[in-house]
Amino acid sequence: MVSDGEIITEAIRLVDEGVSVTLPVNGRSMLPFIIGGKESVILQKPVSLQEGDVVLAWVDGCRHVVHRIIRIEGDSVTLMGDGNLAGTEHCALADVKAKVTHVVNADGIAHEIDNGWRRRAARIWFRLRPLRRYLLAIYKRL
C-alpha cells in the first residue's frame, strides 16, 4: 500500500516537471471552499504567489497542507485553512510546492479557484473569522 506521504512526494515531483496533478484532499480545514473526502485539487508549479492563493506547502517543518496564503513577508509565508478558526502555519517561500488552480467536485467537474467571485468570497470569509465557528456549524448541518 502506498502512503499519503509517498503520493504527495510523487505529486510534487511531477509538478516540478511541469505536469498538472490532480490530488484528492481530506479533512475539513478548507471548508467551505474545498470539501475534503469529496473533492480534489489540481496542482501546478507555482510561477508567482500572492496573498489569497491556495497552495500545497511543507509547513512548520513537519507536514504538507493545502491552505490559503494569508501573508507573505519577504521569504516568510503564513497560511491558514479556510475552515480553521484561528490556527496558522508558517513556511518559507521555497516550501510552497504547488499552487491549486482548480477544485474538482464529486461529479468530476473542475472549477477555477482563482476567479473573481471566489477570490472575493475568500476575502469576505477571512474577515468573518470571529463568526466562522457558527457559520461552519450551520454549513456542516446542511
- Residue 77 CA to residue 58 CA, distance in Å, equals 11
Residue 111's beta-bridge partner residues?
A: 103
Residue 100's beta-bridge partner residues?
A: 43
Cell of 13: 515531483
Q: Is the pLDDT of residue 23 over 90?
A: yes
Percent of the chain scored above 70 by pLDDT?
Answer: 100
Please give the pLDDT value at position 74: 96
Confidence of residue 115 (pLDDT cuts 50, 70, 90): confident
Residue 102's beta-bridge partner residues?
A: 42, 112
What is the per-residue pLDDT across 96-110, written as a single tens digit (0 to 9) for each? 999 999 999 999 999
What is the per-residue pLDDT across 61-94, written as a single tens digit (0 to 9) for each? 899 999 999 999 999 999 999 999 888 999 999 9
